[in-house]
Chains A and B, each alone.
Chain A
Amino acid sequence: MKDLGTLGTLAWFFALTSLFAIGGANSAVPEIHRFAVDVQHWMTDPQFSDIFGLAQLTPGPNVIVVTLIGYHVAGLAGALVATLAMCGPTCLLAFYVGRTFDRFRGASWQVALAGGLVPVTLGLTAASAVVVARAADDAWVAVGITAVTALVTYWVRVNPLWIFAVAAVLGLGGLV
């Protein structure tokens, strides 16, 4: 049965890839692209970038790009298998690491590990914000949107969805 073979391929590929995806799902995208387009010929290059674009447009964790790839390759079963394979093993790992971390709460190594990881993570996340901004802001309007969003969401307790809606309309109107 061809379908079972395809589902199996989806399962082992995404399970294996997830284990190397440190720093979030987006770090695995180049490898997923290589495998889906160049190795398996599941889709063409433009199809892949359309799928990636649709995933960016859909709210939710970035990892759902994997759901759409699975859907494209093998329908609903493919969507489920790909997503579970991408999230299952790492979730199990997170569950056990989190439990160990909580069990030793207050132990010297636990305090030092948490205290050491936090500043590095904050630096990395701030850097990722700049990387995203640099990629998105090649027009002055876009720079303005980024700056206004940063300032407003920092100082005012407003739901950022309103700002996103305005930004989407500005983009749709070709102003960005």
Chain B
Amino acid sequence: MNDAPPAPRATEPVAAAAPPRPSLSELFIAYALISLYGFGGVLAWSRRMMVEERRWLTPEQFNEAYALCSFLPGPNIVNFSVIFGSRVRGPLGGLVALAGLLGPPMVLIIVIGALYSHYGDLPALRRALIGVTAAAAGLIMSTVAKMALPLFRNRAVGGPVIALATFGAIGIAQWPLPIVLVVVLPISLALAWVRR
């Protein structure tokens, strides 16, 4: 987990001077791949694609866009696709990224749903799912650890303290989310305002 500052890694990309700007078809393909790989949630796959493989975003840019999307209503990565797509290719880019992310799994789930209602063996699938879910939890952990790297490399201690406090309150103490947010969010925003 992210309780100790992880060591720098060879695979972490360095921020490019001018990030490449994807075309509409590149956007569609990248988001279609994110959705088709996306077992156990699309956050990990979308960071892998945007930051590590295509290098369209620096780790910091990814964190910032993801944070914004997490506080907007609706599915986070769906919001992310619209914001990123429209940032690089205008409103059409937003639509194309969204279509790439939602189109393939919509087709897939309807086919799977239809097959299941004819010959479903859900107990077997459920058992496979237990294994995949355990692996997905591990993948989210390593993704969060990578996402936290820029925060912990920063010399300011406020960010890491806030991140660890939020994690401890929800993940370990299991306090209710709204109460934690009401306390933590204003403090974090105030710290960031002072630091800006």
Contacts and interface: CB of A to CB of B under 8 A. Distances in A.
Nearest to B1: A126
B138 A87 contact: no
28 contacts: A53-B129, A54-B116, A59-B37, A68-B110, A79-B106, A98-B82, A114-B192, A116-B190, A117-B188, A119-B159, A119-B162, A125-B43, A126-B141, A127-B170, A127-B172, A129-B137, A129-B140, A132-B140, A133-B138, A137-B137, A153-B44, A154-B142, A157-B52, A161-B39, A163-B138, A164-B132, A171-B129, A172-B127
Interface of A: 18-25, 50-51, 53-64, 67-68, 71-72, 76, 79, 83, 86-87, 89-91, 93-95, 97-99, 101-102, 108, 111-133, 135-137, 142-143, 145-151, 153-155, 157, 160-161, 163-164, 166-172, 174, 176
A56 B188 contact: no
Contact of B78 (A90, A147, A169): A90
A91 B82 contact: yes
B109 A130 contact: no
A118 B177 CA distance: 16
A56 B129 contact: yes
A94 B80 CA distance: 8
A164 B40 contact: yes
Interface string B30-50: 000001111111111000100
Interface string B120-150: 1010111111111111111111111111100
B68 A133 contact: no
Nearest to A132: B137
A133 B104 contact: no
Contacts of A170: 131
A8 to B, nearest CB: 21
A61 B131 contact: no
Contacts of A111: 192, 196
B91 interface: yes
Contact of A126 (B2, B69, B83, B126): B2
Interface string B154-190: 0000111011111101111000010001001100111
B122 A169 contact: no
Contacts of B162: 119-120, 123
> Which of B35, B73, B128 is the most central at the interface, judged by chain A CB atoms within 10 Å of its CB?
B73
Interface in B3-52: 6, 9, 11, 35-44, 48, 52
Size range of the chain B interface in the assembly? 35 or more
B54 interface: no
Contacts of B188: 116-117, 119-120
B135 A94 contact: no
B87 interface: yes
A120 B124 CA distance: 38
Contact of B196 (A23, A115, A172): A115
Contacts of B196: 108, 111-112, 115
A101 B66 CA distance: 13
B127 to A, nearest CB: 5
